[in-house]
Amino acid sequence: MTSEILILNREAVALAADSAATLTGEKIFSSANKIFRLRKDLPVGLMIYSRADFLGIPWETVIGLYRKKDNGAVSPNLEDYGNRFIEFLSTIVTPEIETNYIQCQIGSVLGDIYHEIAYTLEYIERSYPLDDEDRRKIVGETIDRHYNLWDLDSIKMPQIDEEEIQYLSDNYSDFIDDTINRTYNDLPTYTDSQEKLKAIAISILTKFPKCFLHPGASGLVIAGFGDAQIYPSFCSHLIVGYLNGKLICIPQQTDGIDQQKLSGIIPFAQQEMVCTFMEGIDPAYLNALTQFHHNMFMGFPKIVYDHVKQRLLEEKIVPDIDPKIEGEILERLHEVGQEEYEAAERYFEQYRYLNHSSRVMGVVSHLPKDELAAMAETLINLTSFKKKVTMDAQTVGGPIDVAIISKKDGFVWIKRKHYFDRELNPHYFEK
């Protein structure tokens, strides 16, 4: 994961991004460029998050190709620029690029499962030996867990239909079988394990996980001003892949400043620290509290009722309670619990808004451009520092790039890293 943020008010939009990005698998690089001018003459920027490549092609290369192909047309709305860029992506995909992408995705997911199994077996065998049946059970359980993840906890991508699934079956079944046989030839497996691995290989190309970002997905954020727009806006998309001549693109957010909405802070990829800053509470802690409150409000009335009923029967205050009446009482108690739970959640939500987020957003709406940029950079720094001083993987890091886009000044760099010495390359800046 990486960390990127977009902050808007009526005057400008600030983009800030760290330099960490995933490229070709799980490798994290900490020198990636993730903020770009879409075109030299436009007040429009493009920011990427998660992966640093499109089907194996670096995004820097893709954007350079787009600038050469763009016809220079001016659009009244920012979304038009985003749609035009998305349409361009399909034009650069050759059959070779598509084949390589599909094979890499299949090889990556099957390889990751194999390495997880191998690590688990090695770790356990440090303590005691395993026979073939033990090993087969561990292999089967691991494959089942991944199969359930992609089968039950994933949804079909919107552009995918039976034609794409048949296309994979017709053209890549042999490749999938060969990859499984070559990768898992030293592991004991159950008879249905190979079929489940084949299903996983198909799913990574046709489904989107519910609980985490697709490992092949790359996020795009287009931000700035359309020619007819007074205030800034943005749109974002997830580029998941390419299959059977179709670009798999999932629209995410489209929003902007208007007469009612005066500011916005939108984090991408790793959002915990930004949400903590805005809401005054860590999102994971908030989820735990919400779940606790739900269980308490929904379960406590029944506990009280059971105690009261037991005491009434023990003291012989009532001989018995009619089952029909008891059912009505429990139903009403359940309704009361639900009502009180919802009231409590509304109270806490309002408290967070009044005492935290609204106070920040009120100031953001009036920040000058330099302060807007400083705030965006600081929020990225917070996320990076949290990763640095905890046991979490260092998935946020490297220099932070910051840009400001305004209607008057266009796209302006506030901070920008270079992979070369400025003094040795004056011709670059003369451009």
pLDDT tens for 192-212 read 888 999 999 999 999 988 877
pLDDT tens for 159-190 read 888 888 889 888 999 999 999 999 998 888 77
Task: Report the alpha-carbon distance of residue 128 to residue 299 in Å, rounded.
Answer: 44
Residue among 358, 402, 361, 411 at smallest CA distance from 380? 402
Task: Report the alpha-carbon distance of residue 169 to residue 176 in Å, rounded.
Answer: 9
Phi, psi of 68, rounded to the nearest 5 degrees = -75, -30
Q: Which of 199-213, 255-269, 416-430 has the lowest mean pLDDT?
A: 416-430
Could you give the dihedral angle defined by the CA atoms of residues 202, 206, 207 and 213, in that order, rounded to the nearest 10 degrees?
100
Whether the per-residue pLDDT at 213 is higher than 60: the answer is yes
Phi, psi of 19, rounded to the nearest 5 degrees = -110, 10
Whether the per-residue pLDDT at 395 is higher than 60: the answer is no
Whether the per-residue pLDDT at 323 is higher than 70: the answer is yes
Confidence of residue 32 (pLDDT cuts 50, 70, 90): confident
What DSSP string runs through 302-371? HHHHHHHHHHHHHTTSSS---HHHHHHHHHHHHHHHHHHHHHHHHHHHHHHIIIIIHHHHHHHTT--HHH
Quote the percentage of the chain above a pLDDT of 90. 43
Say what the pLDDT of residue 190 is: 73
Contact indicator for 30, 62 with CB cutoff of 8 Å: no
Query: Once rounded to an integer, what is the mean pLDDT over residues 36-41?
Result: 90
Task: Report the alpha-carbon distance of residue 182 to residue 270 in Å, rounded.
Answer: 36
Phi, psi of 126, rounded to the nearest 5 degrees = -70, -25
Say what the pLDDT of residue 22 is: 61
Contacts of 175 (CB under 8 A, 6+ apart): 103, 106
Residue among 23, 20, 50 at smallest CA distance from 32? 20
Say what the pLDDT of residue 189 is: 77
